[in-house]
Amino acid sequence: MTGAAGPAKGFEITRRHFVAIATGLYDDPHFRPLPVDAEVRALTDWLCAPSLGVRAFAPAYPELAHNPSERAVTDALKNPEPYARWRAKDAAVVFVTGHGETSDGVHWTILKASESLRLPATALRTADLIMWLKATEIRHLFLVLDLCFAGKTITEVAAFEKDIPATWLVLPSATRDQEAVTGALTGAVTAFLAELDSREGESYAGEKIKYLDVQAFLEGIRAHLRPGQRLEPLQGSQTSGPHPCLPNPHYRAQDATTVQAPRSDLAIPQADVEAHWGPKSRGSTADGGSGWLFTGRRQLMLDLIAAATGEPGAMVVTGSAGSGKSAVLARLVTLSDPAFRMRYAARLGDIPPDLRPAEGAVDVAVLATGKNPSDVIAQIAIALNVPPPPTKGAQPALEEWVAAWQNWLTTGTSKITVVVDALDETPHAMAILTGELARLDPGRTRLRLIVGVRSPGGDDNTPPDARTQRGVPLADYAEYTLVARRIRVDEAPWWAPADLADYAAAILTTTPGSPYQHPDVAETDDTASAVAQALAARAGTSFLVTRIAAANLARRPEPVSPTDGSWLKAVDEGVRGVLRQDLDTYCHNDPEQRLQTVHLLRALAFARGRGIPWRRIWPAFANAVADDPDRTYGDSDIADLLHSPFGGYLTTDIADGTTVYRLFHDALNTTLRDQWRDLLEPATPAP
């Protein structure tokens, strides 16, 4: 029987222990010495790394890692003092390495003083060790037995196998009756850990997942086994899903803004918050201003706050690609979040009072990208503690959720605000609109609904993919179906050209290392302002073009002239132009590097839903896009891209228990899908 996967989110772990039982020196010349120190060190470096934070393991019984006696092992693990006993909520990794032997149908762990002719009297019975661990009732255990004939222990723990915890992972170095090459398993583990610690190792889980998936972990180790060696977990072990004994070293805890779960979908990225309120990234003093992130777009923000706090009804927020619709919705959601407001209470005073929504103004925020109707309504309902409906299927269907929602709505009177953005970025847009959003509160008794949807035009000069059968743009149909007030963020009175210039100036002056950060503040302000004004005048209504162009200028070694036609021409060409400009700047006139960058980015332009995983999938997409039998992309190429300035073109999410990647704006998808050949030509010919 195969063990079930552990929970996908969060583990209630009280303590974490790492025990290494390592024997490399032997009194009996029958057992040759073994180099075990490097293996123990590799596991210690991984499991006990301070960078893991609360996920780090504490070394336990360190004396057992240096040729221990049988008494030392017994005293530590068989019946420890009550205060030292492991409990159900603990997690432990136990690593046993050295020689192993079988005698009279029993498997023995050979220790320093073991005698080859007297194993029952001088060695440690391996099955006893497992039974001692079972007696602890510990729920989460990773046990490695790198011993010859370790698979023999399977027959000795047959009774134990019947109730092996599904959250245990036990790895013997060989299957039953198969003699392992001594050290082969830990050699493979050590090689895998070296790979995991590299930039390419991020492919196993990415930056958003705390723990490695057991299946991916096993695949990684198997790839490093010697020929003829096999790796099969003890029957009953967990074989898939995340495991708290497998910490992912690439996890970044501060990647998301600190907001409560109901609003996390649309929260402003933490990196952007820190860029405006963090002195190190601002290059300013600690009491600097709030930056552009929480100012600008005044009339638009006022109207959104009014919609979020006023009478029940619907509002549709539309705008062409790149016009900043999603950014201002994210601001509304983030500033209303209680956890965010508590964390940044000292900074909220920097924001004009009338541009700060009330705490809790938004109850739920949903990013519709790639989601189906059941996903969206379930997310809204669960966030508001709506009792899930009874169902005959594995998950409630849309109609079941709608009925449960409508019934719940009649049980209260308080007003509710729900924000749904990127309706145009799901293939189920019409079903979500007509089958769900339009039915949430048809009587307009409690619900304030704000829906963000792209309108035709903008940076890529193409309409959204999502249309009705009659060819009516989705934005128009949403306005009609929801009987909604409509805000067009790229038209007056909500569009103010000065906002675009302020945004450009903020990027120029807050990017670390920017040439527009100058000791002479007056000179810096004048130069940055002139360049920002010139950029905004050419960027139309596109914050996207402004962002890419300004970031490029901020990374140059010297300021540019506001009248220099070389960079202004790129802005005139929209997304294609500024992307070509970035390729000019960062590919250093290397056509091979340029082609590789375009291929890797273009692969993401064909991603559906929330994005694609790195491991296996992204390289496969890139190779399909390249369509060149002489060209193969792998993990190192993707690692290079992610650690280059082009990593800023991507955003990450979670799907199916792993980190997925996509381009941060749909206009980039369109440009890379349809105009990629143009990107191979330099914006400025090389001299």
The pairing of beta strand 658-663 with beta strand 16-22: unpaired
- Which tens digits make up the pLDDT trace of 433-491? 999 999 999 889 999 999 999 987 655 444 444 444 467 899 999 999 999 999 999 99
The mean pLDDT value of the chain amounts to: 86
Q: Is residue 516 exposed (0-12), middle (13-18) or buried (19+ Cβ within 10 Å)?
A: buried
Q: If you search the block for the tokens 């299957």, which residue do you land on? A: 175
Residue 229 lies in a domain: no
User: Could you tell me the CATH number of the domain that includes residue 626?
Assistant: 1.10.10
For residues 272 and 290, membership in a common domain is answered with: yes
Higher pLDDT, 557 or 274: 557
For residues 307 and 369, membership in a common domain is answered with: yes
| Separation CA 517–CA 523 (nearest Å) | 10
- Which tens digits make up the pLDDT trace of 234-292? 888 999 999 999 999 999 875 456 778 888 888 877 666 655 554 332 222 233 334 55
Q: What is the phi-psi region of residue 550: left when phi exceeds 0, alpha when psi lies from -120 to 50, beta otherwise?
A: alpha
Give the pLDDT of residue 664.
Answer: 87
Give the pLDDT of residue 282.
Answer: 25
The pairing of beta strand 313-321 with beta strand 485-488: parallel
State in Å, rounded, how far the first CA of the chain is from the last one. 67
Residue 235 lies in a domain: no
Q: Could you say which of 148, 183, 218 is where a domain stops?
A: 183
Give the pLDDT of residue 603.
Answer: 97
Side-chain half-sphere CA neighbours of 577 within 13 A: 21
Q: Which amino acid, residue 503?
A: Y
Give the pLDDT of residue 545.
Answer: 94
Q: Is residue 158 exposed (0-12), middle (13-18) or buried (19+ Cβ within 10 Å)?
A: exposed
Range name among 65-74, 169-178, 225-234, 499-508 with the lowest pLDDT average: 169-178
For residues 567 and 625, membership in a common domain is answered with: no
Give the pLDDT of residue 460.
Answer: 47
Higher pLDDT, 408 or 106: 408
Task: Write the DSSP string, 479-520.
Answer: HHHTT-EEEETTSTTT--HHHHHHHHHHHHHHSTT-TT--SS
User: Could you tell me the CATH number of the domain that includes residue 290?
Assistant: 3.40.50.300
For residues 640 and 614, membership in a common domain is answered with: yes
For residues 530 and 649, membership in a common domain is answered with: no
Residue 505 lies in a domain: yes
CA atoms 288, 291, 297, 302: torsion sign? negative
For residues 325 and 466, membership in a common domain is answered with: yes
For residues 510 and 415, membership in a common domain is answered with: no
Number of domains in the chain: 4
Give the pLDDT of residue 382.
Answer: 94
For residues 148 and 52, membership in a common domain is answered with: yes
Q: What is the phi-psi region of residue 492: left when phi exceeds 0, alpha when psi lies from -120 to 50, beta otherwise?
A: beta
Q: Is the pLDDT of residue 1 over 80?
A: no
Residue 182's pLDDT band (cuts 50, 70, 90): low
- Which tens digits make up the pLDDT trace of 38-50? 889 999 999 999 9
User: Could you tell me the CATH number of the domain that includes residue 164?
Assistant: 3.40.50.1460
Q: Is the pLDDT of residue 176 over 50?
A: no
Cis peptide before 493 (omega within 30 of 0): yes
- Beta bridge partners, 318, equal 453, 488
Q: Could you say which of 546, 572, 598 is where a domain stops?
A: 572
- Which tens digits make up the pLDDT trace of 479-529? 999 999 999 999 999 999 899 999 999 899 888 889 998 666 455 568 899
Q: Which domain holds residue 646?
A: 590-687
- Which tens digits make up the pLDDT trace of 78-91? 988 888 899 999 99
For residues 395 and 325, membership in a common domain is answered with: yes
Give the pLDDT of residue 350.
Answer: 85
For residues 545 and 483, membership in a common domain is answered with: no
Residue 55 lies in a domain: yes
Cβ atoms < 10 Å from Cβ of 135 = 13
Q: At 238, is the secondary structure helix, strand, or coil?
A: strand
Q: Is the pLDDT of residue 186 over 90?
A: no
679 token code pair: 């990107």
Residue 214 lies in a domain: no
Give the pLDDT of residue 12.
Answer: 87
Residue 483 lies in a domain: yes
Higher pLDDT, 328 or 180: 328
CB distance 134 to 170 below 8 Å: no
307 token code pair: 């919609």
Report which DSSP code applies to 2: P
Give the pLDDT of residue 595.
Answer: 97
For residues 308 and 435, membership in a common domain is answered with: yes
- Beta bridge partners, 124, equal 109
For residues 169 and 293, membership in a common domain is answered with: no
Residue 156's pLDDT band (cuts 50, 70, 90): low
Q: Could you say which of 451, 467, 488 is where a domain stops?
A: 488
Residue 608 lies in a domain: yes
94-122 mean pLDDT: 91
CB distance 91 to 11 below 8 Å: yes
| Separation CA 428–CA 450 (nearest Å) | 18
> For the packed helices 543-554 and 574-587, what is the interaxial angle rounded to 10 degrees?
20
Side-chain half-sphere CA neighbours of 321 within 13 A: 23
Residue 200 lies in a domain: no
